[in-house]
A and B are shown apart, each in its own frame.
Chain A
């Protein structure tokens, strides 16, 4: 597990370290389970309480499954990059793929419920197109009662 520590700052000039945990996986079906577990471990290590871990795991599974199913339909499977970051009471989980970008599909193999499920589990999320190609799903979880490091 590689931990990248990115320095930030506040108005008092104190540098606050905001650790960010990153993982990378090939965009295969078998990677989705590994991504869930990596994020669960990262979230637990950051102080997220057990009750919230199931929701986070499910949201990550939906986002990664979307990348596997849709991002590489016209090409070889690429990479899914996961980033977990904690600031204050908020946990941010980013799932980025380097695929073809989000496009409507009439032939979707799934139920089309991934994004609505993500919406019901996190406090906010956005889907961004990467200028280099690919898509990032960014999910925000307000973790009440946890003390995130």
Chain B
């Protein structure tokens, strides 16, 4: 991964975990809102430890994605292939909506590359 000038630039990684549904999604809202509001730091949402996600939980991510896109940057997600999270992203046809990586390091590189100049 060496040789990249921005390799040391900070990236914020929001690691969600457990079940994210209509009840628990709201617990993540403040942290997500703060992260989205920090327009100078690329953001990754790591869903690899999320054991359940439905469309109400996804709504939180879709909202964050809309705000980030207005800032000129996409929402980068880490999603384990074939996981329940991958399944709901496919079922809702939202895979193309985000920048999704199975590997956290690849996600980090992409998030750094997407920094608005």
Contact = CB atoms under 8 A, between A and B. Distances in A.
A30 to B, nearest CB: 5
Contact of B21 (A54, A65, A121): A65
B52 A110 contact: no
Interface residues of A, number: 23
Q: In terms of DSSP, what is the predominant structure of the interface of chain A?
A: helix
Contacts of A111: 55-56, 58-59, 62, 92
Interface string B83-113: 0100110011000000000000000000000
Contacts of A36: 21, 52
A117 B91 CA distance: 6
Interface in A46-97: 54-55, 57-58, 61-62, 65, 68-69
B81 to A, nearest CB: 14
A65 B54 contact: yes
B62 to A, nearest CB: 6
Contact of A29 (B23, B59, B84): B23
A33 B23 contact: yes
B22 interface: yes
Given A54-B84, A62-B55, A111-B59, A117 B19 contact: no
A58 B91 contact: yes
Given A65-B56, A110-B55, A32 B88 contact: no
Interface in B51-67: 52, 54-56, 58-59, 62
Interface string A93-132: 0000000000000000111011011001100000000000
Chain B's interface size range is 10 to 19
Contacts of B23: 29-30, 32-33
A58 to B, nearest CB: 6
A121 B91 CA distance: 8
Interface in A13-38: 29-30, 32-33, 36
Nearest to A115: B55
A134 B24 CA distance: 26
6 contacts: A65-B22, A65-B56, A110-B56, A117-B54, A120-B91, A121-B91
Interface of A: 29-30, 32-33, 36, 54-55, 57-58, 61-62, 65, 68-69, 109-111, 113-114, 116-117, 120-121
